[in-house]
Amino acid sequence: MPMVKFNKNIGLTVLILGLLVAVGFISYDFGKESSQPKKFGQEEVTNLETPTGGEEVKKKEYIEIGDKRIKIDDQPDEITFGQYFSEFYLTRTEPYPEFILERELKPTNVFTPDDWFCLYGTSTKEVGFFIIVLNAETKENIPGHDIRYPPKLGKFAVGGSLDLPIGSYELRVYVEDILVKVFPLEVKQELP
């Protein structure tokens, strides 16, 4: 019986090609997930009743963001805000702004659908925070606008694409699960 010799180079080449194909499939699968809007959790509707007849629908009390359960009707906690921030503002900026902290920024709450938002201020302690955007009328969480920001100390400026349709919204800022700031914002077709 003739013995077949195994060529190590051919075996190594087949192994490398197999690994490349596997990595390609994994990358493709992750690529599909990253093309979806960024979210830190699915919204969970709680305390809703289905209307039957003349019954009214109760407003949501909470939304779920990742592992956090956020109470919607909370008022900003000024004591917690004061523990972490000396100032905190919302403004409009161009995409990918350069030297944002070296400019004079003016607070605003009126945007167009294509504008970028910028949260800027000064933190007195190193603190991470996250934001959510709610429809001002329905208090529904706007998917894809739940953003976590890493801990900051001192002056900071963070933001991104607003990407909201025309309407009224609330941009809410949380430290841990404590509401510290609410920015009402209007998205209009054109700026006044």
pLDDT digits (tens, 9 = 90+) for 98-130: 777 778 888 999 999 989 999 999 999 999 999
Q: What domains does the chain contain, in order, with CATH numbers?
A: 74-187 (2.60.40.1930)
Residues 41, 71: Cα–Cα separation, whole Å? 15
The whole-chain average pLDDT of the chain stands at 76
Q: What is the reported pTM? A: 0.64
pLDDT of residue 169: 96
- 87 DSSP β-pair partners: 122
Answer whether 126's CB lies under 8 Å from 154's CB: no
Please report which confidence band the pLDDT of residue 59 belongs to, taking 50, 70 and 90 as the band edges.
low
Q: What is the pLDDT of residues 61-78, one digit of tens each?
A: 767 766 667 776 678 999
Q: Tokens 């167009």 label which residue?
A: 112
- Report H helices in 41-100: 78-84
pLDDT of residue 154: 93
